[in-house]
Chain A
Amino acid sequence: MGATNFSNPDFLERVKKGDRAALPLLVEAVLPQLLRAGRGMGFSQEESEDLAHSVFAAFLEKPEQFQGRSHIRTYLFGIFYNLVAERYREKSKALEHDPIDEVMESKFDAHGSWRQPPADIEGQLHAKEIGQIIQECLKGLSQPQRVAFYLREHEEWETPEICKKLGITVTNLGVLLFRARNRLRECVEKKGLKKG
């Protein structure tokens, strides 16, 4: 286990030919990463497994399309992101109203200066339990916000890449990121102030 070299030409040849015995090795190597990405973008465990299934099913339908020019992981993730983008488009036709906009507006006075400046949560952001707090706070984001935030911050995609993949404008991406980050920041601040 774990010793399979996925760049090995023989292995790739078997995969390309649709050798089903090579499949468990491939699934074992890539599935956890696909599920982690799915969960990171706010899909449930079940939805993430569904997505992963569709990735491998699509791959097995036309294994010969994989030319071996990119890493097999990259290739499968390419299929994965296309599927995510499809689901994303079904789910979010328009930007819905989000109360975080009013929360942010209330933080500034008429001149645009801070009325309620950000609390000092720097210590918290470096604390050990911050991972847990963030996971908890991420649940408060809408799915489109999570997808946008994940692609930007975790995958570190650039703006044009995200907009193209999700089929949204730069302005809409800006709104999603603005809301995602402020929701998270607010949530971390609140949880921290409660503790402190």
Chain B
Amino acid sequence: MLNCSQVARSIASDEYRTGGLLYRMSIRLHLAMCRQCSRYFRQIRALGSVLREVGDEFPISQALAARDRLLARLSRKP
């Protein structure tokens, strides 16, 4: 039987995603019975989805300035 420490490590390191079917089932079983680990699991997963949603705000003015710098650099022949 896996303990909480092993389950947390497995979740955060992605071991549970790459492990075999039986291994993944034993993790799911632990999560179903353990409120603390399932909370940890939800939070780790939420961090990823937040990252996908927020991205990095990139002001137009900054993008245009960067574009001009880049084009100037590219036009300078080495």
Is A159 in contact with B70, judged by CB distance below 8 angstroms? no
Set of chain B residues within 8 Å of A122, measured between Cβ atoms: 39, 42-43, 46
The complex places the Cα of A118 from the Cα of B44 at a distance, in Å, of 11
- A178 partner, pick from B12, B47, B53, B56, beta carbons under 8 A: B12
How many residue pairs link A and B with beta carbons under 8 A? The number is: 124
Is B5 in contact with A112, judged by CB distance below 8 angstroms? yes
Is B74 in contact with A153, judged by CB distance below 8 angstroms? no
Known: A49-B66, A49-B69, A112-B5. A184 touches B47 (CB 8 A): yes
Closest partner residue, chain B, to A112 (CB atom): B3
Asked if B25 is an interface residue, CB under 8 A from chain A, the answer is no
Is A57 in contact with B74, judged by CB distance below 8 angstroms? yes
Set of chain A residues within 8 Å of B21, measured between Cβ atoms: none
Is B12 in contact with A181, judged by CB distance below 8 angstroms? yes
- B63 partner, pick from A32, A113, A173, beta carbons under 8 A: A32
The complex places the Cα of A28 from the Cα of B68 at a distance, in Å, of 9
Is A32 in contact with B58, judged by CB distance below 8 angstroms? yes
Asked if A193 is an interface residue, CB under 8 A from chain B, the answer is no
Set of chain B residues within 8 Å of A20, measured between Cβ atoms: 75
The complex places the Cα of A153 from the Cα of B6 at a distance, in Å, of 22
Is A117 in contact with B39, judged by CB distance below 8 angstroms? yes
Please classify how large the interface on chain B is, using the bins under 10, 10 to 19, 20 to 34, 35 or more.
35 or more
Known: A27-B71, A113-B3, A181-B44. A174 touches B66 (CB 8 A): no
Is A131 in contact with B8, judged by CB distance below 8 angstroms? no
| Interface of chain A, main secondary structure | helix
Is A27 in contact with B43, judged by CB distance below 8 angstroms? no
- B4 partner, pick from A45, A114, A150, beta carbons under 8 A: A114
Set of chain A residues within 8 Å of B53, measured between Cβ atoms: 131
Q: Mark A163-185, 1 if CB is under 8 A from B, else 0.
A: 00000001001110110011011
Asked if B54 is an interface residue, CB under 8 A from chain A, the answer is yes
30 A-B interface contacts by CB (under 8 A): A23-B71, A27-B67, A40-B55, A52-B70, A53-B73, A107-B8, A113-B3, A113-B5, A114-B4, A114-B36, A117-B40, A118-B39, A118-B40, A118-B43, A122-B39, A122-B46, A125-B43, A130-B54, A135-B54, A153-B48, A153-B51, A154-B51, A154-B52, A177-B12, A178-B12, A178-B13, A181-B12, A181-B44, A182-B12, A185-B40
Chain A positions near chain B (C-beta within 8 angstroms): 20, 23-24, 27-28, 31-32, 35-36, 39-40, 45, 49, 52-53, 56-57, 60, 104, 107-108, 111-114, 117-118, 120-122, 125-126, 130-131, 134-135, 149-150, 152-154, 156, 159, 170, 173-175, 177-178, 181-182, 184-185, 188
